[in-house]
């Protein structure tokens, strides 16, 4: 009997050492620190993820989070974000948000102040203004130069497939390919090296151009929250929304089991709901590392060279990660066990 009591107490000690915890994708340590500072004072997991992602937005982490990065084909920066509460199973998200900087905070207002899950585009801007946010231009000199250089490079790379432009340049507007079309025959006759798919360079994802922040926090009460923030893919077709604000894709949480958050080629990754799959694997008894690799390998079956990574944490605060299409995937952690923010790495298989 004494042995049983000891084991129960010991298990409680292990739990206490690991939680609270915050973990996020990439070496965005300022964001980790901001979230951890709140958690260690007894703060709520939703507020921790908000302030963590907000820090990254203000710092414009690697140019792929927040304003002034990843301009679309019109040169405009638009933003996506998600907050998912694993205790209430409620969420708030925004997609293709225009002209408002604080996208994670707008997502929080969707969570708290509406019965909806996601609002998008210009209507999301109007919602944000009603919630007290400022409308402003998100363009910077840096993002303007990225867009100008892209235009000067014949609008390459881009996300179009099986289309041709309505001019003798590679910039749009575009129209679907019709092989019996006079214009198609004219184009392929005069520009034989410029054909449908081969005519356009596919945008390639790497650690240099796509570093969405995905964050997971567990507070002292065991509440688990996942969140994301990004300005998406460079040179995307206007209106494109990536995986970050999609529940189960960019992030997912269930306080009974754990949470996950993914980053990478969102157009591919969202098709497999990797964050949801990883949490379901935790439900089945997998370790966080096993759950992470199950989610990555599911995508890899169909897209062997895709670029992406995922972080997973269970309710005890144990964590793991997995990746593909890069040498290794860094992520940042701070917890009750080690209050110092630490950057970990997982080697991609």
Name the catalytic one among 212, 230, 263, 294: 212
**Residue environment code for 56-94, b if the CB has 16+ CB neighbours within 10 A, otherwise e:** bbbebbbbbbbbbbbbbbebbbbbbbbbbbbbeeebbbb
Q: How far apart are CA 43 and CA 149, in angstroms?
A: 44
Round the CA-based radius of gyration of the chain to a whole number and report it. Answer: 22
The beta-strand segments (E) located in the chain are 21-25, 78-85, 90-98, 118-120, 163-165, 174-176, 213-218, 224-230, 251-254, 258-264, 308-314, 319-324, 328-335, 342-347
294 is a catalytic site residue: no
For the record, the structure tokens of 50 come out as 């908000």
Report which of 128, 132, 107 is spatially closest to residue 117, judged by C-alpha positions.
107
Q: How far apart are CA 157 and CA 142, in angstroms?
A: 18
Kindly give the pairing relationship between strand 118-120 and strand 90-98. parallel
Write the Ramachandran bin of 75: left for phi over 0, alpha for psi from -120 to 50, otherwise beta.
left
Q: How far apart are CA 255 and CA 222, in angstroms?
A: 7
Query: Measuring CA to CA, how many Å separate 9 from each of 189, 218, 222, 258?
Result: 78, 21, 18, 22
Asked, as a colleague might, if the bond just before 239 is cis with ω within 30 of 0, I would say: no
Backbone torsions φ then ψ of 213, nearest 5 degrees: -90, 125
Q: Known catalytic residues?
A: 212
């Amino acid at each position: 009997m004494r042995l049983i009591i000891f084991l129960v107490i010991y298990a409680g000690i292990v739990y206490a050492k690991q939680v609270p915890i915050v973990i996020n994708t990439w070496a965005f340590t300022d964001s980790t620190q901001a979230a951890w500072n709140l958690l260690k004072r007894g703060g709520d997991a939703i507020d921790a993820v908000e302030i963590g992602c907000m820090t990254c937005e203000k710092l414009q982490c690697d140019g792929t989070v927040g304003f002034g990065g990843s301009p679309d084909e019109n040169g405009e920066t638009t933003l996506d974000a998600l907050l998912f509460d694993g205790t209430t199973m409620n969420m708030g998200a925004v997609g293709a948000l225009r002209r408002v900087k604080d996208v994670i905070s707008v997502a929080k207002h969707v969570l708290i102040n509406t019965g909806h899950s996601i609002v998008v585009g210009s209507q999301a801007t109007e919602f944000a203004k009603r919630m007290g946010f400022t409308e402003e231009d998100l363009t910077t000199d840096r993002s303007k130069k990225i867009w100008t250089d892209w235009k000067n490079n014949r609008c390459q790379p881009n996300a179009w497939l099986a289309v041709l432009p309505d001019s003798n340049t590679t910039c749009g507007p575009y129209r679907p390919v019709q092989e019996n079309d006079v214009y198609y025959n004219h184009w392929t006759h005069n520009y034989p090296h410029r054909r449908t798919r081969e005519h356009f360079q596919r945008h390639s994802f790497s650690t240099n151009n796509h570093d969405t922040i995905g964050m997971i926090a567990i507070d002292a009460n065991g509440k688990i929250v996942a969140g994301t923030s990004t300005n998406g893919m460079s040179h995307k077709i206007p209106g494109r929304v990536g995986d970050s604000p999609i529940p189960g894709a960019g992030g997912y949480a269930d306080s009974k089991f754990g949470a996950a958050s993914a980053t990478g080629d969102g157009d591919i990754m969202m098709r497999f709901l990797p964050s949801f799959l990883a949490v379901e694997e935790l439900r089945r008894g997998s370790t966080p590392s096993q759950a992470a690799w199950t989610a990555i390998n599911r995508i890899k079956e169909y897209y062997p060279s895709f670029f992406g990574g995922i972080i997973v944490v269970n309710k005890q605060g144990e964590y793991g990660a997995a990746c593909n299409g890069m040498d290794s995937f860094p992520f940042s952690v701070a917890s009750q066990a080690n209050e110092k923010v630490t950057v970990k790495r997982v080697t991609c298989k």
